[in-house]
Structure 1
Amino acid sequence: MYSVGYCVSVTALIVAVLILTQLRRLRCTRNLIHCNLFVSFILRGVSVLTRDALLFKEKSMLQAETDFINLSREKTMVGCRVAHIISLYFLAANYYWLLVEGLYLHNLLIVVSFSEEGVLSRYLLLGWGVPILFVVPWVVVRQLYENTQCWERNDNSAHFWIIRSPIVLAILINFLIFLRILRILVLKLRANQMRRSDRKYRLAKSTLTLIPLLGIHEAAFNLIPEESAKGGFRYSKLAAELLLSSFQGLLVAILYCFCNKEVQSELRRKRQNSLNGSRPSCAPRAMHPSPRRPHGAEDLMSDSSVARTSQY
């Protein structure tokens, strides 16, 4: 089932990336961060599917004993390990791009003098560069001390914590950011003096929108390490984690591209221009996404639209 989830998510994310990169009015720091997050989801999904295919091929060769099969198995083993390393890197990069989204949203809402000048290069370094710093040491340790099969098993859990610790740290930071943003939303909703039922609805809507963007559900899964879960509970936890992770990319693409009013408006404008057979007219200056005040920060902090987190 999770293979279907990754395939659907990858397809939706590719479409979302094409939309955000091809429509010139949508090019801003916020959407470039979204694009990098989408790409990390795409690469994570493709690498997982590739690794699983090689794992299946490697296990099927365990049944045979001929020299030819053994030689093929050695080559497959090398490819399987390389695919596993790549999948772990993209997994880590995906978590760190979720962290980038959290940090960017936090800075927009809370840091008064936040400037976007030069911030994208630092985010690129954090999202794509930092995971290398702990994936490479893990590869060295596995090669020296636990060079068995396709490296998919972690018989010595201490080795895998080289990768798991930085990922758990990123999840924890995002969870703290989520709580702080939630507190801001509660305070703004109370200041609106709306009916209690309406306030609860808006808070729930904003919370649910932030969960896939920041990967908050991962905090619940990481509270219980895989090695401490036993029996049926372990398999249930693993199944739920795989299912949610595989469809997370689809949910993020829907919320932050396909259901985004700015994107929908630009697509309608493009379609209208195409139907009219006329050239796209230059947009008024106020319509361009401002690099200093990205669309979404004002929506979240304004009294009239505090619940429009999805427009971030």
Structure 2
Amino acid sequence: MDLTHNFIVLTCLLFLHPLKVEKVSAKVLEETYRKWVQYKEDCFNTIRNESLPQTGLFCNRTFDRYACWPDTPAGVMINISCPFYLPWYDKVSQGVVRRRCGYDGHWEREDNGQVWRDMTQCEEEKEVASQELWFKQLMVSFRMLYTVGYSLSLFTLITALIILLSFRKLHCTRNYIHANLFLSFILRAVAVIVKDTMLEHHWGREIMKPTDVSEMLSHQAAVGCRIAQVIMQYCVLANHYWFFGEAIYLYSVLIASVFIDSNKYLLYIYLGWGTPLLFVVPWVVAKMLKENKECWAVNENMNYWWIIRFPVLLASLINFLIFMKILKVIFSKLRASNPTHYTDYKLRQVFSAFV
């Protein structure tokens, strides 16, 4: 019997239900499979190397795809430690799984013909399982909520982008920067939705047949999921750096008068769309070489995570300082001027863009 079919049996055993297999995460699935293969190989080595009993009837050693059973004298109940590959093994490490060897030298069977086995001590606690189910349902509700939010944002942002690009009177450096910021928001929302969809498609499906397991653990599934993850991280960084571009433009108009000419618009393009590549590419290389697992969504070594998070925090900090400076200038000019006769064009331009 091939490994794929064995793993289907393993998964069924893990969740202790003959007809329904619960959804499992990619990390648990892959880790459990790896440990199960190791457990099975250790068992087969033991079966091959142990000597046979010298006298009397006994039930033959075997591996039933759940636990490894030694030769057992007739009429004896054998206790085996819970298998270490179980995801909840830490909670049941002191428990045992039981089999009974019949007086005829055959493993006792149930009425349906299956070999009898008592593994109640190795099952996950019902209270813990119910808590995990509640948490899972909460996360599903949370994901639905932010998916609806992203969808509404997509509609409004696309509408705003169309308006900005449709009227020639609105074509200027300031509105070009706005348009790119809106576009970065759109791409970020699309990337998050696509990434979640791929995660659900590849890792959230129910295991019903052997091909489901092979697809979930296939290289193609992982590559597609990782590409979606990379695009999402790039869009998140681009979104923050277009915010940074907005801050620089406001600062230039009000205070420094740099990067303000129309021929400097290309510099904003480099900043918003080019800067994220300086951080995403090293992060991809680090993931490929050091943490090439699953969808790259798990950060076992936080040093690699900081490659793409430090520039976000840095840009956010600089944005905050610039906005505080702009607010200080705006309020100081408002106090120094008569609001009813306010004619400072640059200040009004900055104030409208700031809002």
Structure having the larger proportion of residues in strand: 2
Match of 2:270 among 103, 122, 125: 125
Larger RCO, structures 1/2 (Cα 8 Å, 6+ apart): 1
Following TM superposition, by how much is the alpha carbon of 1:54 offset from its aligned partner in structure 2, in angstroms? 1.1
- Paired residue type of 1:70: V
| 2:197 corresponding residue in structure 1 | 53
Q: How well do the aligned residues superpose, as a CA RMSD in angstroms?
A: 2.4
Counterpart Cα distance in 1 of 2:208 and 2:289 = 27
Q: 1:22 to 1:193 in 2, by over 3 A?
A: closer
Residues 151-162 of structure 1: pairs in structure 2 closer than 5 A: 151-162=296-307
Q: TM-score, normalization: structure 2?
A: 0.54
| 2:280 corresponding residue in structure 1 | 135
Match of 1:174 among 311, 319, 327: 319
2:215 matches 1:72: yes
Counterpart Cα distance in 2 of 1:20 and 1:175 = 26
| 2:35 corresponding residue in structure 1 | none
- Paired residue type of 2:292: N
Counterpart Cα distance in 2 of 1:311 and 1:145 = 42
Q: Is the 8 A contact 1:29 1:120 kept in 2?
A: yes
Structure having the larger proportion of residues in helix: 1
Find the structure with the greater CA-based Rg.
Answer: 2
Unaligned 5+ segments in structure 1 are 195-294, 302-307
Aligned residues: 206
Q: Is the 8 A contact 1:296 1:309 kept in 2?
A: no
Residues 146-225 of structure 1: pairs in structure 2 closer than 5 A: 146-192=291-337
Identical residues among aligned pairs (%):
43
Deviation digits for residues 118-169 of structure 1, max 9, x if unmatched? 2110000110011011101101101111111111111211110011111111
Match of 2:248 among 94, 103, 109: 103
Q: Is the 8 A contact 2:238 2:273 kept in 1?
A: yes
Deviation digits for residues 228-278 of structure 1, max 9, x if unmatched? xxxxxxxxxxxxxxxxxxxxxxxxxxxxxxxxxxxxxxxxxxxxxxxxxxx
Q: TM-score, normalization: structure 1?
A: 0.61
Match of 2:233 among 88, 91, 97: 88
Q: Is the 8 A contact 1:50 1:83 kept in 2?
A: yes
2:348 matches 1:309: no
Q: 1:89 to 1:114 in 2, by over 3 A?
A: closer
| 1:37 corresponding residue in structure 2 | 181
Q: Is the 8 A contact 1:100 1:126 kept in 2?
A: yes
Secondary structure of 2:204's match? helix
Q: 1:129 to 1:18 in 2, by over 3 A?
A: same
Counterpart Cα distance in 2 of 1:112 and 1:154 = 42
Counterpart Cα distance in 2 of 1:53 and 1:134 = 25
Secondary structure of 2:293's match? coil
Q: 1:165 to 1:114 in 2, by over 3 A?
A: closer
2:172 matches 1:28: yes
Q: Is the 8 A contact 2:253 2:346 kept in 1?
A: yes
